[in-house]
Structure formats: structure tokens, C-alpha cells
Structure 1
Amino acid sequence: MRLPIVHHPDYDAKTVADDHRFPMRKYALVAGLLREAGHDFILPGYASADELQLAHDEAYVTAILTQTLDAKAARKIGFEITPAIARRSSASVAGTILAARHALEQGAAVNLAGGSHHAGPEGGAGFCVFNDVGVAGKLLLDERSVQRVAVIDCDVHQGDGTALIFRYDPRVFTASLHCEQNWPRDKPPSDLDIGLPKEAGDAAYLSALEDLVDAALGTSPDIVFYNAGVDPHEEDRLGLLSLSDDGLKARDTYVARACRSAGVPVCGVLGGGYARDALAVARRHTFLVEAFGTPD
């Protein structure tokens, strides 16, 4: 059975310039690479305001959807809030919701966007507008499609927004493996945080990953949301860790096999990646699809 892969052309917001610190073109590039490899995509719609408000303040959601967010809040996010950014952010959330539903049916699925883990209940930050995993997790729980959720966040930055969204929800276990000296400065606690020192490489990272995944799967979740950010890579401008391509591949393969072995459906999302070469970032994001689409 083919791996369900969700993609929307609006994931690449054209109002963000090629030389922006956030490599927006990576979304079109990763889709192009996978299309060339023979993959097909499932098209999501756009998340509704009611869905977005499951994880975010109503006034904030309205300000994004109507492009009326104040300049200070927009600077905290890092994007001018244009119609293209509003569409991109809403489609990304819808994509994670759709991928999660396919994961529950087929065991695994990937959204070729998402992982916007710095967006919290009161607003966005760090290039994250809406927290797609936060919304999707809340929605599945509220409609009783699942009873327990685990978040395995391997983006190089701690998942502060996700931690805040699920802070008081005993149905959700949040786990973050990140660089401790990296942004954000204030790190509201996840249920499990493993912060690695700068320049940690493949061996230390993969050892810590085993502990993180074991803890998350030990909570007997009905679904795992896996943030497969490629910013721990040694060439990443914002990462501060030193993983190789092989290290990233081993990470994604370990998570895929562990979830498959435990019989837990997993929804993969892309997360961050900030190397200067957007095509190189896109190629690293394909490792997630390779790992989830390859049987043991």
C-alpha cells in the first residue's frame, strides 16, 4: 500500500522572497523531488476558523485570516501576514489533519508541511503561524477518533508552542529532542524534554532518540505526531547540532520502525530546515517519506 502524502501548492507562499531566512521554496522543491520519484499527492483544503480555535485564541485566528495582525506580532512570527501566508498556514493545518486521518486508516502518512511548533495558544512565533499538530491532536481527541496522543518532536528547537497547547491535557504526551542552547530562550516544559549540547553528532543524538521514542510509545498512544525537522543537520544555519545526512536518515528510520513495531499509527510533518541551499533542505525532507514508505 502506497504511503499517503499530503501536499498543497499553497504551502509555498510566494510573497516570501527567495533570500528570506526561512527557505519557503523548499515546499515546492520537496514536492517536485517526490513527484519525480513517482509519488502522488492528496490535496487538502483549508482549516476552518473553528478548527484553528481548538488550539489558538479566537482574536488571533481572526487577525491572521483577515490579515489584520499588528506589526509587532507579525515581527515575532517573522513573516508579513499576507493573504498567501494566511492560505499557507491554514492549508498546512488542514494537511496535518488529513494526514492524521490517513495514518489512522493505513498506519502512516506524511504532510509535506507542518511542524509549526512555536505557535502557541496566544499567537505565533519563529516562522510558525498556526500549530498544525496542536489543532489536529485536539480535533482527533475531541471527536473521539483517538483517546491518547503522543508528539515526538525532533526539530532542533524545543517545541514550546506545542508544550503550552497541551500543558494541561493528560491525554497528550509531548516529547522534544532539541539543542538546549538554541532558541527559544524560554522553554515551557514538555512532558519530556531532552536538550543536547551544541555540536552533538549522530551517535549522541540517536542514543537520546531511543530514550525519547521509548518514553513516548510507553504511554500507549493511539497516534504519534512526528516532527521530522531537518535543522539538526550540520549545515543548518539555525541548528547548532552536527547531524549528517546518514544521521537524519537513521533517525527517521528508527521512528518509523519503532511506531510500526508498536502498532501505533504515525503522522509525519516536515518541521524546520534552514540551510542556505533550499534544494539540499528539500532532499533531506525526502528522508521522512523514504523511511515511512519502506517496510522493514
Structure 2
Amino acid sequence: MSIPFVYHASYSKLALPSTHRFPTTKYHNLYQHALKQHLLFERYRHIPSPISIDMLYGVHCPQYVDQFINGTLDHKVQRRIGFPWSTELVTRTLHAVNGTHLCVELALKHGIAVHLTGGYHHAHYDFGSGFCIFNDLVIAAKSAIESGEVDKVLIFDCDVHQGDGTATLTQGDPNIINCSIHCAKNFPSRKQQSDYDIDLDKGCTDTRYLEHIQQILPYLIRLHQPDLIIYDAGVDIHQDDDLGYFSISNQGILDRDKQVISIAKMHNIPLAAVIGGGYSRSETELTLRHSQLLIAANESWLSTQ
């Protein structure tokens, strides 16, 4: 067996100005690298269809959903998202959000699955922010619960930025446990209240960071006994990331991903992983950082099959 994964060509087909900070090429680069290095195999690839509008309505304001799709959002609202509107952006968004939903379905069937985008945790009920338009993590979690496949979901968010949209969308929902491990002094400037917020200082090192992962994840599993973990494996924790302020090495990212995957497997909990944030002008370096998740999945999950 190999790791089932989700990828759609639209993920990297977003024309942006050369000065734009969003690394739109990284998804295609990671996909090609993973196939070349035999970290993933094409026959285990799953291609998402566009998400249904009703699923978006189930989490987001219908007016906001319709205005985004039709390109009629207020300029300030569109600007807060961070992307200029285009039909390519709509296509990419609808496929990417459904990709995380598909990733969850695959994880529940196979034990683990990876989505080569996702982690849009800054998307709130009626507005998007920080390159996030619709909150794929919450949509996928709610869908799994409403389908009756699971009773409780843990969203374990290790992106360097707090998942503020996930926090606001899951407040008061006892079936979705949201944990965000992030840099205290980083975007968003106004933090929201997750079920668990682990605020770490700028310059956090591998050792200190991994200690927190090792402590908090088993604790959350014991306390809440989730039936599914949705894992945001953001690599913007890297010491050379353009938008992160931690001092985590490539080895630190690999060790984190191994820890999370191993803990989930040890407790027999399906794990759906999204690659999350990562920002660098060096496409090669960014690909290597994100590929740590795939290396970890092969070493920590498949090696013990």
C-alpha cells in the first residue's frame, strides 16, 4: 500500500503578480517531487470535484459564498482575502476545499490520507483573510460528523499562524475540538479563542517545539477521545520562512510530523493531513520542507503496516 493523496491541477493554476507573496507553484512542485522521489504514487491519487454550494452554506454565510463565486464581493472584503478575484481563483477554491473533505473520507477508509493543499484556517463565517476563503478544516470536520461516520473530530493545527477562523467557526461546538499551536506575536494580530491555544515565543527551537507536541497531542486524545484527527502540517514554522518567526529546522519539521502521525497511529485514530502554510522565494527549499510530511507518513505509518 501507499499513502492515498488528493491533488487537483487547479491548485497551482492561479496567475498572480510576480511580487505576490503567495507561492502558488508549490503545490505542483510538491506533487512532481513526491512522484519522482516515490513518496507518493499516481495510482493512489484522488482528484476532487468542486465542493457543493450547500456544503459551503453549512459553514459560511450564504451571501458571502454567493458574492465570492459571482465576483461581487466588496473591494475591501476581497482585499482582506489577499487575492484578486478571478474565475481561476473560484475554480481552485472549490476544488481545494472539497479536496480536504475527500482527504477525510480517504483517511477514514485507509487510516491516513494527505491533501497537497488545504489548511485555510483564517476563513471566518462571512469573510476570508490571509489567503483563506472558505474554511476547509471546519467544513470537512462538520461533514464527517453529520454523515454519522464520526462523533468527535480533533483539528490539530500546527501552522505558525493561529487558526482564528477555525476558532470562531467551532466555538460552542462540542464535537469539534480545535487546538492551535502558533507563534504568539504573528498574524493575525487579534487572536480568537480556540479550545486550546498554545502560544509560543518567537525564535522557538526544535527541542522546545517538539516537547509541546509530545505533551499536548496525547493529552487531547486521552481527554476527548476523537474519532478523527485533521492535521494542519504547516511548514511556516521553518527558521527561514518568509512569514514565520520560529527557528525550526527541516529535521524539526520531520520530527514533528513523525510524532503526530505516530501518536495517531498508536491510538488507532484516522489522520487526514493538509500541508498548510509555507512561504519562501526558493521553490526548491519550500518543496523540501513540505515533503517532510510525506517522508514522515511513509516512515511512521507504512513502515509498520
The one-letter amino acid paired with 1:165 is L
1:18 deviates by 4.1
1:76 deviates by 0.5
Q: Does 2:62 correspond to 1:58?
A: yes
Q: For residues 79 and 10 of structure 1, what CA distance do their matches in structure 2 show?
A: 15
Out of 96, 100, 105, the residue aligned to residue 96 of structure 1 is 100
Q: Specify the alignment match of 1:22 in structure 2.
A: 22
Q: Is the 8 A contact 1:151 1:216 kept in 2?
A: no
DSSP 3-state at the match of 1:176: strand
Per-residue deviation, residues 20-44 of structure 1 (Å, max 9, x unmatched):
1111110111111012123222111
How many aligned positions are there? 296
Per-residue deviation, residues 120-143 of structure 1 (Å, max 9, x unmatched):
111210011111111111111112
Counterparts of 1:168-183 in structure 2, within 5 Å, are: 168-183=172-187
1:267 deviates by 0.2
The one-letter amino acid paired with 2:297 is F
- TM (norm. structure 2) is 0.94
Q: Does 2:241 correspond to 1:236?
A: yes
The one-letter amino acid paired with 2:163 is G
1:72 deviates by 0.3
Q: Is the 8 A contact 1:194 1:212 kept in 2?
A: no
Q: Does 2:45 correspond to 1:77?
A: no
Per-residue deviation, residues 94-118 of structure 1 (Å, max 9, x unmatched):
1111110010011000010100100
Q: Is the 8 A contact 1:112 1:270 kept in 2?
A: yes
Q: Specify the alignment match of 1:137 in structure 2.
A: 141
Per-residue deviation, residues 205-253 of structure 1 (Å, max 9, x unmatched):
1011122212332211111000000000000011000100000000000
Counterparts of 1:36-55 in structure 2, within 5 Å, are: 36-38=36-38, 39-40=41-42, 41-55=45-59
DSSP 3-state at the match of 1:51: helix
Pair 47,226 (structure 1): closer, same or farther in 2 beyond 3 Å: same
Q: Specify the alignment match of 2:225 in structure 1.
A: 220
DSSP 3-state at the match of 2:46: coil
Q: For residues 26 and 10 of structure 2, what CA distance do their matches in structure 1 show?
A: 12
Q: For residues 167 and 7 of structure 1, what CA distance do their matches in structure 2 show?
A: 30
The one-letter amino acid paired with 1:226 is Y
Q: Which runs of 5+ in 1 are unaligned?
A: none
DSSP 3-state at the match of 2:126: coil
Counterparts of 1:97-176 in structure 2, within 5 Å, are: 97-176=101-180
Q: For residues 263 and 121 of structure 1, what CA distance do their matches in structure 2 show?
A: 32
Q: Which runs of 5+ in 2 are unaligned?
A: none
Q: For residues 172 and 215 of structure 1, what CA distance do their matches in structure 2 show?
A: 16
Q: Specify the alignment match of 1:267 in structure 2.
A: 272
